[in-house]
Every structure is written in C-alpha cells, then in structure tokens.
Amino acid sequence: MKGRMPHDIQQNKQDSGDHALPVVEESKATEAGNYFVSNYPPFSLWTPGHVSTLMDRLQTPDDRERTTGLYVHIPFCRKRCHFCYFRVYTDKSRNEVSEYLDAVTDEAAWLGDTPYVRGKKLRFVYFGGGTPSFLSESQLDDLFTALRERFDWSEVEEVAFECEPGTLTPRKLKKLKSLGVTRLSLGIENFSDEILEHNNRAHRTQQVQAAYDGARDAGFEHINIDLIAGMMGETDANWRHCIERTLEYEPDAITVYQMEIPYNTTIYKQMRESGKTIAPVADWDTKRRWVAEAFTAFEDAGYHIGSAYTAVKDAQRVKFIYRDELWAGADMLALGVSSFGHVGGVHYQNQHDIVPYMSAVAAGDPPVYRALPVGDEELFLRQWMLQLKLGRVNRSDFVERYGIDPFTRFAELLGTYADAGYLTMDGDDLVFTREGLLRVDRLLHAFFPEELKGVRYA
Ligand SMILES: C[S@@+](CC[C@H](N)C(=O)[O-])C[C@H]1O[C@@H](n2cnc3c(N)ncnc32)[C@H](O)[C@@H]1O
Ligand code: SF4
C-alpha cells in the first residue's frame, strides 16, 4: 500500500481542479512571531472567565482511567538568552527562590488534595523552565520530598529534568539521580563559545564536557542534548562542527529546534528599537537545511528520527513518556508560575508573573490565570496536530477514539500536501516525508478552523 492515496483523498484531489490550496505561505526570512504549535486551541482563547469551570472540575471526583502527569515550572536562570521566550527571572536571591519553592509546595498541597486529583497515580513528572538545575541540592531535596508527599509517585515511570550545563556539578547530578530523575536534558544549544556569548548564553563549551561526564558517571538512563539551528552568528562550518561534537558524546537522544524569534525575546526588542522587521538569524530555508543535515548525520550514526525535532539512539529503549502522553491527550497537572496543564477536558494556565502567582498562593487562592473547557472536536484536533509532529499517524486511532476519520475530514488538504511532496500514505498510516517533517509546524496551521487561522498564538 505504500505511497497509495486513500480513495477519499484521491477523489478530492481530482475535484479540487485548478483552485488548489496554497501549500504554505511563508516568508523566507525569519520575521518575529511564533509558529511552533505546542497546544490547541491557541492560548489567546483561554480566559479568566473559564477558571470557574476548572474549579468545578477539580471539585468532582474522577473515576475514569486516565494517564496523569505533573509539570513543575522553575522560572530562574543565570542569564536571559537573547532568543528566549520563556517566563524566566535572572535577579532572584537564594531566599526568593526558596520562597517560590514554598509557594509551589503549597500549591501542590492544594491541588493534590482536590477531589479530582486525590488518589490519582502519576505516570510522569517533568521539571521545566527556566532552569530547574538552577536549584541547589538542598532546594532540590526539599522540593522532591514535598512533591512526593503530596502526589502518589508509586507508579512514576519517567522523571524528566531540564538543565543548563553551567549549573551542574558532579554532586548535583548524583543528587538528581538519587531523587529519581530518569531523563536528563542538557541545553547545550551550540559548541562555539563565540556564538554562545553572542546569544547571551550563560554556559561555555568547557562546562559541557564536565556536565556530560558527570551525568554519565551518575548513571542516568536517558541523556538528551538540545541544539538550536540558527543561533545568531551560526555558519555552515560551525553547524557541522556542532553535529560532530554532539555525536562524539553519543547521547541517548538529540533534540534540534529551529530558531524562532517570538515577540517577548530580547532579539525582537532590539529589532523593534532599530526599526528592523527581519531577525538577525538565518532564513527558514537555511535552518531547515541545517536540521536536514543534522538528521542525516544522526541517521548515518545509527540514530532514529522519532519526531520533527528528535533523534534517538535506541528507539526500543529510549522513550519520552511526557511527550508521547501529552500529545496523546493525557491529563497534566501544572505547578508554578505560567505553567500549562490539562484536567478532564479543561486546559488551564497559572498566573504568568511571579508576583500575582505568589500572592494568590499566600492568600490560599488557586493561582490559575486562565482556562478553556474543550470538547471532543477540540481534543481531536489537538491530538491530530500534535501527533503529526511524530511524523506518522494512524487513521483508526482517531476513528476509534473520536468517531472522526481525519483522512476524510482533511482529504483536500492532505491531497495538496501529498502533491507537494510533504506526505505519503502507508496503509492506514499517514507518513510525513523529510521535507514535510522539517516544516511540520507551518503545515499544521492549515488544520485550524477558518476562524482561528491567524489568531495570535500566545
Ligand atoms: C527551557 S529551555 C531548556 C533548559 C535551560 N533553560 C537551557 O536553556 O539550557 C528549553 C529549550 O528551548 C529551546 N529554545 C529556547 N528558545 C528558543 C527559540 N527562540 N527558538 C527555538 N528554540 C528555543 C532551547 O533549545 C532550550 O534548550
Ligand atoms: S537558559 Fe533556557 S530558559 Fe533560561 S533564558 Fe536561556 S533558553 Fe531561556
């Protein structure tokens, strides 16, 4: 069946005649804005008015079998990278960090004791940031102990933890291992000190070696390296060097992001001040070519491309439960400033600034800022789009779960993408070609309903 189009897609292709859809409208240069699709519906539709629906949901016991995870946001960094768009603080003292962690612990006590959450067993826990590895060993000890007391960790299979290499010491790595971290992710980003400095990264390559050796010594099951294709100052030769250096480490997984410049970055601020509309980073064709070169080199070294952004060394052994479960629609409890979560059909986000977040917790109020209840239609679309990022989706999964056949629903668009060389069919599976995978986030926007196309994403 490989390469054959299902009947409904073929039919539509014939019907579409010469009014074919534009495939992807994009500027070649990197302009400011978000195109990365991390959730659906877009965050700008989530409102404070819907928070009461979340509260009602949390007050109702839930007897449905669901996979549940926990996300904990640690919003501190040593420096703010010029390209970063996350909620981070670089000016907090050790005491202020501890006060924040106390607030997260209090929030955990409230959330863990709601009728909806009580008794649920977590399957995965993810510490993201910011820089979770910014925390000291004693802060890590206290935080993990508190979270283990407030949620049932007895069936946790994965504890993922993001690190900035310059914050790691052999002792801290051993501590993380003893606390149960299984997946350690290192934000290496680049192997040129000049480029790291130019982009205001806090770490340097010498610290990468120490961090990686310490992580291997500590014995983590799964070490991931993050790279960004298209940092300011990147060149063909240096990118090749980054690929080679990454492979020398033989990490279990490698994640490569294409640089985007959202509006809340320092780079965008500088662009606006100088009246520029084009970001001082490589254009999209170049960034895609760099990722393609990296993927080919990783495949030649025996890695498997497991999504639009990741290569894994041993796909049977190395799993990423957080990503797979999140993209399959699992519940995720969110703790900390600006965290995103999802419980029983309600998306929500916490207060996105540390002051209102801390005040809400201190007053004994839930620190939730906005929410959005969603139905099967939205859940279907969300799962469809997020799973397309894996590069392969199965039709029957959607028919069984939602009673919706995505191949029929999107026949015309899928036909257009197939004609453009972005996807092929393999039996009941839709498979992205490498060209499709390299621009998957752009292709996803066309699946949004008409009224949401072009809605500001954040
Ligand atoms: C929260 S950070 C990881 C942990 C730690 N803060 C660090 O940077 O080392 C998540 C990842 O997002 C990626 N990232 C950040 N800003 C980006 C941007 N503007 N475009 C593409 N990727 C970006 C980086 O690869 C970074 O490692
Ligand atoms: S270290 Fe990570 S979270 Fe912190 S500013 Fe840099 S990219 Fe953002």
The alpha carbon of 162 and the centre of ligand 2 are apart by a number of angstroms equal to 10
| CA atoms in the 13 A half-sphere facing the CB of 231 | 25
Best residue among 77, 225, 228 to mutate for probing ligand 2's pocket (most ligand atoms within 8 Å of CB) is 77
The alpha carbon of 254 and the centre of ligand 2 are apart by a number of angstroms equal to 18
Choosing from 327, 361, 385, the residue where a domain stops is 327
Token output for 114: 């709601």
User: Other CB atoms closer than 10 Å to residue 11's CB: what's the count?
Assistant: 15
Best residue among 78, 131, 168, 339 to mutate for probing ligand 2's pocket (most ligand atoms within 8 Å of CB) is 131
Which pLDDT belongs to residue 4?
Answer: 35
Distance of alpha carbon 375 from alpha carbon 15, whole angstroms: 31
Does residue 73 fall inside a structural domain? yes
Which pLDDT belongs to residue 25?
Answer: 55
Distance of alpha carbon 213 from alpha carbon 208, whole angstroms: 8
| CA atoms in the 13 A half-sphere facing the CB of 14 | 6
Same-domain pairing of 86 and 171: yes
Which pLDDT belongs to residue 451?
Answer: 87
Mean pLDDT per block of 10 residues along the chain (458 residues) reads: 38 37 66 90 95 98 94 98 96 97 98 97 97 98 98 98 98 98 98 98 97 98 97 98 98 98 96 95 96 98 98 97 97 98 97 97 98 97 97 96 97 96 94 96 94 74
Which pLDDT belongs to residue 363?
Answer: 98
For residue 269, give its domain range: 43-327
**317-357 residue pLDDT tens:** 999 999 999 999 999 999 999 999 999 999 999 999 999 99
Same-domain pairing of 268 and 409: no
- Which residues contact ligand 1 via a Cβ below 6 A? 77, 83-86, 128-131, 162, 164, 187, 189, 226, 228, 257, 259-260
- Chain centre to alpha carbon of residue 295: 19
Does residue 347 fall inside a structural domain? no
Ligand at minimal distance from the CA of 166 is: 1
Please tell me the residue having the least CA distance from ligand 1 atom 20.
259
Question: Is 118 a pocket residue for ligand 2 (Cβ < 6 Å)?
Answer: no
Which pLDDT belongs to residue 290?
Answer: 98
Which pLDDT belongs to residue 458?
Answer: 61
Token output for 378: 């939205």
Distance of alpha carbon 183 from alpha carbon 243, whole angstroms: 21
Same-domain pairing of 185 and 219: yes
Best residue among 37, 195, 257, 271 to mutate for probing ligand 1's pocket (most ligand atoms within 8 Å of CB) is 257
Question: Is 77 a pocket residue for ligand 2 (Cβ < 6 Å)?
Answer: yes
pTM equals 0.94
Distance of alpha carbon 203 from alpha carbon 186, whole angstroms: 11
Residue 402 CA: distances (Å) to CA of 41, 343, 395: 17, 18, 11
Same-domain pairing of 50 and 22: no
User: Other CB atoms closer than 10 Å to residue 10's CB: what's the count?
Assistant: 15
Same-domain pairing of 32 and 134: no
Which pLDDT belongs to residue 2?
Answer: 36
Instruction: Calculate the CA dihedral of residues 56, 61, 65, 67 and round it to 10 degrees.
Output: 60
Distance of alpha carbon 34 from alpha carbon 301, whole angstroms: 32
Residue 265 CA: distances (Å) to CA of 200, 255, 262, 270: 12, 21, 6, 9
The alpha carbon of 84 and the centre of ligand 2 are apart by a number of angstroms equal to 6
Q: Are 25 and 440 in contact (CB under 8 A)?
A: no
Number of domains in the chain: 2
